[in-house]
Amino acid sequence: MKRTAALFALWLALDPLSASAQVRVGVSGAAAESSSAVSAAAGGARSSPMPLIPAGLSLPSGSLSLSPSPVPSISVTPVALHVAPVSALTKPVSSEVRSRKVTPSVAVQKSVAVASVLQIPARTVAVPQTRSEKAAAVVRDEVANWGLARSPQDGVLAPSFALSQTLLSPKAASTPDQRLDIPAPKTPALAPGRPALSKSLLITGAALVGVAVISAAVPALIPAAVVAWKGAFAWSGFAAMAASRFWRAPGTAPDVPRGPPAPSSGALSSLKTAWTAARDSADAQSSFEKRVGGSSWSSFRDWLFGGIRTGLYWMGPALLVMLAGAAAAKGAIMAFGIKFAGTAGAAAGAAEAGFEMIPMSYVLGSFLPMALASQAAGLALFFGVRALARKLGAGKAAPWLGGAAALGLAAGVLLTTTTAPFIVAATLALEAGVLWTAARSDSFLAPLVLRGVLTLFSIEAARLTLWLGMGFGGALAGLPAVWGGVAVAGLVAVAFLLKAPGLRLSEIGKWWNAAEPGQRPKSPWRVLSSGLLWGMIVYAVGDLTFGAVNALAPGAEPAPDILAKMLTSGVDLVLYNFVIVALLEEYIFRRGLFKMMSERLEKWGLTLGKAFWLAAVGSALIFSGVHYIDWGVLLARFGIGDAASAAGMGGAYAFSWAGFAARSVLGVLLAWMYKRSGFLLIPIVAHFWANTMEGLGLAWGFPVFLALAAGAFLLSVFYRPGTPKPKLS
């Protein structure tokens, strides 16, 4: 037996063209072999019916069939491989065998391929003693190692062969039970963050805000030095609480998909669109609140900008709730005939007069942070009562209980300062809107942003109203009509030559309106840079149009007294007025009038081009005409406001063809920008910046005007945003 095994091993090593070389996997025939090789193999096959099966190896039944070729050969039908890749399949055996100091022959490699394809099971081999037994053991060992049916201990070569077989065989790869099972990539573990530091910052920030609140409520309990710096304590506390979000241990939350789009037409389409945006932003912020942390700037940025976005979007619902509360209070006053003492109005006027003298540094350094600190106390009460109510099994009633507690606290504080039903009702209704934002977004940041914006707007409105009513118009530096437009037009021409990214309104609109995975907030810099650049274009077009028409039909158009008073006030009042003007005029004339007219004309069968131009020109003419209406006098005739004070405001422009034509052209340009970009924010920013350059230029002269234009030019040209990459959440 030993001699037979040794001779068989020697024959396999010396006869590479033996019958084993005629094994074909998945094919029948020996077209790849030469005629001499076929005759030699045929001679060997006649001497023995099955000369290629080594001793001790058994073939599975039903897996072999004789091919119809002249040479009796073995054909394996279930597997579809070709002869050519057989050498590639046997390449990995060389490194393994060389590690055993044995060089395999070609016949051994082909025998290995046969045994692997035929799924020949491994057999237990006794420990070899003599050289012949060792040679036979090498053959048996290699065949067993390459077989698919292997022992659990043999895991070196068989996996690599299984991979090669799967990759080379299309049929095997498409079969479910033979497909290589590649494990899915593991989800990266959440970054642990620095929970201890986060908790310390949170406690410190809450303590600083609490000290600021106590300093305002009960100053006797706090040292005088701390009371004097309570605004700084409040800002420091908010900064520490925000930093704690960066280092906290993040949680998990699924991405919030974009909600169903609101109808783009109809009487209430604007309100539906605004509500959809507010609702979706609050839901997304709730997800950002759970995932922020882990020392990740990306998640912190989503949380920060998402909170700002949510606060701005919820201004509309909060103001509507406030108006509803004010209307209810006004109705109650009219129904029950509630009257106030004459001293109340005088006291309010004196308070307002004193409030007007408050410098802006005090507003930002003390008044605003204390308003946010008191709001934070109300939010803490709301979230605390809601959590306690949920633990006690309140269910869906928990937010209502928390809101009632927070509103009760706000009412108690408010009643210590005023008992006027109108003021109390409007203030509590606004507080309810802020709490609604907190409940929907599960966030401290979003309602604080909302409260901060509303506080600044109310302060600026009061300051501007008092200044316009009590102040006087000073001398304006003025702007040269032609040179201003020419200078800005030169900068715009350079921006076109440099191919500033902000000029591509269609591209920016598609980027802005595209759904972001998880509703991640988009960077405002791209919209801001584009809006500032187009604001320069708006100013240049309007100023040059005014100059050209004025040369043909000269006519003076002095600034109204109301505008002169505003421009000679503080910078904050000027910017506040321009923000309001841009928002209201674009929303009324572009989002409302132009969009409604274009949709109506399209329904009447006009083409898109004709509908656009008719709607743009018609809305622009109306837009230009309303500048010559004195709204104060008009409202006074309807019994709204005081006629004497309204007439003294001088709120109308003196008519001139140059001014009328310039504003009409600008109305068409702004409508085109709205249509081209697909969203209203670009014309709002452009309108705001054109007014700001003109207003500050009139107030402080041509150098300030050029500085503003140059700053907008540099930002728009050198800020080139890269292509946004998708972020895996």
Span 592-628, pLDDT tens digits: 899 989 988 998 988 888 999 999 999 999 999 988 8
- Residue 132 in domain: yes
Domain span holding position 39: 2-178
Distance CA 700, CA 479 (A): 9
CA atoms within 13 A on the CB side of 699: 19
Which pLDDT score, from 0 to 100, does residue 562 have? 76
Distance CA 526, CA 514 (A): 14
441 and 323 in one domain? yes
Distance CA 241, CA 255 (A): 25
Is residue 405 over pLDDT 90?
yes
Q: Which tens digit of pLDDT belongs to each residue from 445-465?
A: 999 999 999 999 888 888 887
Q: What is the mean pLDDT of residues 260-266?
A: 55
Is residue 655 over pLDDT 70?
yes
> Which range (32-46, 423-437, 613-627) has the least confidence?
32-46
By CB atoms closer than 10 A (0-12, 13-18, 19+), residue 146 is: buried
Residue pair 103/97 in contact by the 8 Å Cβ criterion: yes
Which pLDDT score, from 0 to 100, does residue 141 have? 60
> Which range (325-334, 457-466, 533-542, 636-645) has the least confidence?
636-645
> Which range (117-131, 299-313, 372-386, 532-546) has the least confidence?
117-131
The pair of three-digit structure tokens given for residue 663, joined into one six-digit string: 């504003």
Confidence of residue 272 (pLDDT cuts 50, 70, 90): confident
460 and 322 in one domain? yes
> Which range (345-349, 414-418, 500-504, 599-603) has the least confidence?
345-349
Question: 363, 318, 317, 351: which is closest to 420 by C-alpha?
Answer: 351
- Residue 215 in domain: no
Distance CA 457, CA 655 (A): 32
Phi, psi of 423 (to 5 degrees): -70, -40
429 and 552 in one domain? no
Domain endpoint, select from 408, 437, 470: 470
Distance CA 303, CA 284 (A): 9
Between 453 and 113, the more confident residue is 453
- Residue 207 in domain: no
Cα angle value 139/140/141 (rounded, 5°): 90
- Residue 728 in domain: no
Beta bridge partners of residue 74, listed in sequence order:
66
Phi, psi of 61 (to 5 degrees): -70, 140
> Which range (5-9, 55-59, 561-565) has the least confidence?
55-59
For all residues of the chain together, what is the average pLDDT?
74
In the three-class reduction of DSSP (H, G, I as helix; E, B as strand; rest coil), residue 76 is classed as strand
Q: Which residues contact 698 (CB under 8 A, 6 or more apart)?
A: 476, 477, 478, 479, 559, 567
697 and 673 in one domain? yes
Between 137 and 715, the more confident residue is 715
Cα angle value 340/346/352 (rounded, 5°): 115
Q: Could you tell me the end-to-end alpha-carbon distance of the chain, in angstroms, rounded to an integer?
A: 67
Residue pair 372/452 in contact by the 8 Å Cβ criterion: yes
CA atoms within 13 A on the CB side of 35: 0
65: part of which helix (H) or strand (E)?
strand 65-66
Question: 284, 318, 302: which is closest to 447 by C-alpha?
Answer: 318
Tell me how many domains the chain contains. Answer: 3
Is residue 402 over pLDDT 90?
yes
Is residue 270 over pLDDT 80?
no
Distance CA 220, CA 558 (A): 55
Distance CA 688, CA 651 (A): 19
508 and 466 in one domain? no
Q: Which residues contact 435 (CB under 8 A, 6 or more apart)?
A: 378, 379, 382, 402, 403, 406, 407, 447
The pair of three-digit structure tokens given for residue 63, joined into one six-digit string: 């897996």
Distance CA 372, CA 386 (A): 21
CA atoms within 13 A on the CB side of 394: 15
The pair of three-digit structure tokens given for residue 382, joined into one six-digit string: 């709301």
Domain endpoint, select from 148, 178, 208: 178
Distance CA 716, CA 530 (A): 6
Distance CA 241, CA 243 (A): 5
Is residue 276 over pLDDT 70?
yes
Phi, psi of 243 (to 5 degrees): -65, -30
Which pLDDT score, from 0 to 100, does residue 6 have? 54
Question: 693, 674, 698, 669: which is closest to 684 by C-alpha?
Answer: 674
Cα angle value 564/350/373 (rounded, 5°): 90
Which pLDDT score, from 0 to 100, does residue 34 have? 42
Is residue 193 over pLDDT 50?
yes
- Residue 209 in domain: no
- Residue 260 in domain: no
Domain endpoint, select from 129, 161, 178: 178
Confidence of residue 277 (pLDDT cuts 50, 70, 90): confident
For residue 565, how many other CB atoms are within 10 A of its CB? 22
Q: What is the mean pLDDT of residues 335-341?
A: 54
Place of tokens 């004339």: 589
Confidence of residue 473 (pLDDT cuts 50, 70, 90): low
Which pLDDT score, from 0 to 100, does residue 520 have? 86
In the three-class reduction of DSSP (H, G, I as helix; E, B as strand; rest coil), residue 425 is classed as helix
Is residue 242 over pLDDT 50?
yes
**Residue 485: what residue type?**
G
In the three-class reduction of DSSP (H, G, I as helix; E, B as strand; rest coil), residue 216 is classed as helix
> Which range (12-26, 164-178, 410-424, 484-498) has the least confidence?
164-178
Bridge pairing between strands 65-66 and 24-25:
unpaired
Q: What is the Cα gyration radius of the chain?
A: 41
Burial 526-560 (b: 16+ CB within 10 A, else e): bbbbbbbbbbbbbbbbbbbbbbebbeeeeeebebb
Q: Which tens digit of pLDDT belongs to each residue from 701-725?
A: 899 999 999 999 999 888 877 654 5
pLDDT above 70 covers a percentage of the chain that reads: 64
Is residue 19 over pLDDT 90?
no
- Residue 213 in domain: no
How many H helices and E strands in the chain? Answer: 32, 3
492 and 436 in one domain? no
Confidence of residue 206 (pLDDT cuts 50, 70, 90): very high
Place of tokens 């505003």: 566
Which pLDDT score, from 0 to 100, does residue 357 have? 57
Q: Which tens digit of pLDDT belongs to each residue from 570-597?
A: 888 888 888 888 999 999 999 889 998 9
The CA-based diameter of the chain, rounded to the nearest angstrom, is 130
Question: 509, 552, 558, 498: which is closest to 718 by C-alpha?
Answer: 498
Residue pair 532/716 in contact by the 8 Å Cβ criterion: yes
Beta bridge partners of residue 25, listed in sequence order:
76
Is residue 430 over pLDDT 50?
yes
Cα angle value 93/94/99 (rounded, 5°): 100
694 and 622 in one domain? yes
Confidence of residue 5 (pLDDT cuts 50, 70, 90): low
704 and 571 in one domain? yes
Between 77 and 385, the more confident residue is 385
Determine the distance from the C-alpha atom of residue 308 to the mean position of all C-alpha atoms in its chain, rounded to a whole number: 12
Is residue 82 over pLDDT 60?
no
648 and 544 in one domain? yes
Q: What is the mean pLDDT of residues 380-398?
A: 93
Is residue 227 over pLDDT 50?
yes
Is residue 148 over pLDDT 50?
no
Question: 130, 140, 128: which is closest to 54 by C-alpha?
Answer: 140
Phi, psi of 559 (to 5 degrees): -65, 140
Distance CA 40, CA 15 (A): 11
Residue pair 698/567 in contact by the 8 Å Cβ criterion: yes
Bridge pairing between strands 65-66 and 74-76:
antiparallel
The pair of three-digit structure tokens given for residue 469, joined into one six-digit string: 């009513």
553 and 492 in one domain? yes
Distance CA 619, CA 263 (A): 22
Is residue 688 over pLDDT 90?
yes
CA atoms within 13 A on the CB side of 382: 27
11: part of which helix (H) or strand (E)?
helix 2-14
496 and 455 in one domain? no
489 and 459 in one domain? no
326: part of which helix (H) or strand (E)?
helix 315-336
- Residue 283 in domain: yes
